[in-house]
Amino acid sequence: MNETIRLLQAHRSSRNYRCDPIPDEIPDAIIESAHRAPMSINSQQISLVVVCKAASRARIAEIAGEQQWIEQAPVFIAVVADQYKTSFGVGVRRSRTRNHNSHS
């Protein structure tokens, strides 16, 4: 089996966190890997925001529907979609790409 597929299929989610500090190298490596990942229309339509402050994580947890694990994690990486970049990229490649807006 392809190693990438094996790793993806072996994924497990854990929402029990220790309060140990996370070395800066860990979120930096995650951000660098995310930026190297392929993106639709190659325009990096997302921003990754590393949230370290407890008060900020608590507010995000509240906004996200009381998801307390966000507050409990020592670091949270918020993925923020940039709809302007997405719309711009779709406009440039109108003949090959469609923009889809999901509404809950």
**Residue 82, helix vs strand vs coil:** coil
Integer Rg of the chain from CA: 17
Judge contact between 46 and 89, C-beta under 8 A: no
Asked if residue 38 is part of any domain, the answer here is yes
Hey, how many other C-beta atoms are within 10 angstroms of the C-beta on 73? 18
State the total domains in the chain.
Answer: 1
Asked if residue 33 is part of any domain, the answer here is yes
Domain housing 66: 22-104
CATH of the domain at 27: 3.40.109.10
Hey, how many other C-beta atoms are within 10 angstroms of the C-beta on 59? 14
Q: How far apart are CA 90 and CA 32, in angstroms?
A: 25
pLDDT in tens, 31-77: 898 888 876 666 667 788 999 999 999 999 999 999 999 999 999 99
Asked if residue 10 is part of any domain, the answer here is no
Mean pLDDT within 65-92: 82
Specify the pTM: 0.65
